């Protein structure tokens, strides 16, 4: 018989209580118990970063955290940023810069970028590269992702004018990228 323990984890401001096994990861809890399937599972061993969430305000790979360790703690998934201006700017910039292709890495990439820009509002380009080095992307070659994050940083520090691009004016390719991302549960 399985040894189960009840835990309560605050997921996107909502307490979720469920029984967990000792070895169960936060990633499995989020996807299987909290219904947060927008958190993606890639490698399940800490290498790819697709499972990244905001854990107690910091970007963390949820496959490396035990659900038991998250007892009473706050987790934010990509669906938990509604109305957050920094995240909205990042999402729009990713689409505008072609930093989303298949979209599988995008939720984790966005959350890593978000946590990084919160801590480092005026980063050097090399710092952005380092900040996302734990998130793998098989599609974009990273340059467009770094461009997207850099553009947001420059705008927020007033060093670059907004291009006045709105979601409704995205090109066909950009719309497709955005669609992939939304289909995977992002945004
Ligand atoms: S699924 Fe967690 S790092 Fe790959
Ligand atoms: S893995 Fe496809 S967009 Fe990054």
Domain boundaries, given as residue ranges, for the chain: 4-80, 85-183
Catalogue the E-assigned strands of 26-159. 52-55, 58-61, 74-76
pLDDT at 118: 97
Res. 156: pLDDT tops 70: yes
Q: How many other CB atoms are found less than 10 A from the CB of residue 171? A: 12
Which ligand does the CA of 40 lie closest to?
Answer: 1
**Cβ–Cβ < 8 Å for 134, 185:** no
Q: Which of 32-41, 47-56, 167-176 has the lowest mean pLDDT?
A: 167-176
Q: Give the C-alpha separation, 29 to 32, whole Å.
A: 5
More confident residue, 170 or 62: 62
Indicate the pTM of the whole model. 0.90
Which residues form the pocket of ligand 1, taking CB atoms under 6 Å from any ligand atom?
41-44, 46-51, 61, 63
**What's the fold here for domain 4-80?**
Ubiquitin-like (UB roll) (3.10.20)
**Ligand number, closest to the Cα atom of 144:** 2
CA of 97 to the centre of ligand 1 (A): 25
Report the top-level CATH class of 85-183: mainly alpha
Question: Once rounded to an integer, what is the mean pLDDT over residues 102-113?
Answer: 97
Mean pLDDT of all residues in the chain? 91
pLDDT band of 168, cuts 50, 70, 90:
very low
Across 134-153, average pLDDT: 97
Top pLDDT among 112 and 174 is at: 112
């Amino acid at each position: 018989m399985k040894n189960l323990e009840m835990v309560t984890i605050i997921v996107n401001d909502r307490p979720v209580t469920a029984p967990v096994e000792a070895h169960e990861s936060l990633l499995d809890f989020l996807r299987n118990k909290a219904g947060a399937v927008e958190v993606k599972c890639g490698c399940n061993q800490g290498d790819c970063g697709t499972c990244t969430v905001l854990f107690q305000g910091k970007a963390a790979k949820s496959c490396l955290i035990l659900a038991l360790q998250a007892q009473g703690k706050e987790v934010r998934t990509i669906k938990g940023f509604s109305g957050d201006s920094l995240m909205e700017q990042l999402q729009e910039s990713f689409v505008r810069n072609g930093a989303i292709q298949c979209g599988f890495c995008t939720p984790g990439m966005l959350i890593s970028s978000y946590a990084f820009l919160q801590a480092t509002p005026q980063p050097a380009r090399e710092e952005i590269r380092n900040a996302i080095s734990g998130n793998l992307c098989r599609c974009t070659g990273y340059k467009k992702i770094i461009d997207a994050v850099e553009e947001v940083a420059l705008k927020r520090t007033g060093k670059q004018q907004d291009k006045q691009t709105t979601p409704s004016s995205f090109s066909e390719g950009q719309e497709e990228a955005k669609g992939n991302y939304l289909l995977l549960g992002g945004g």
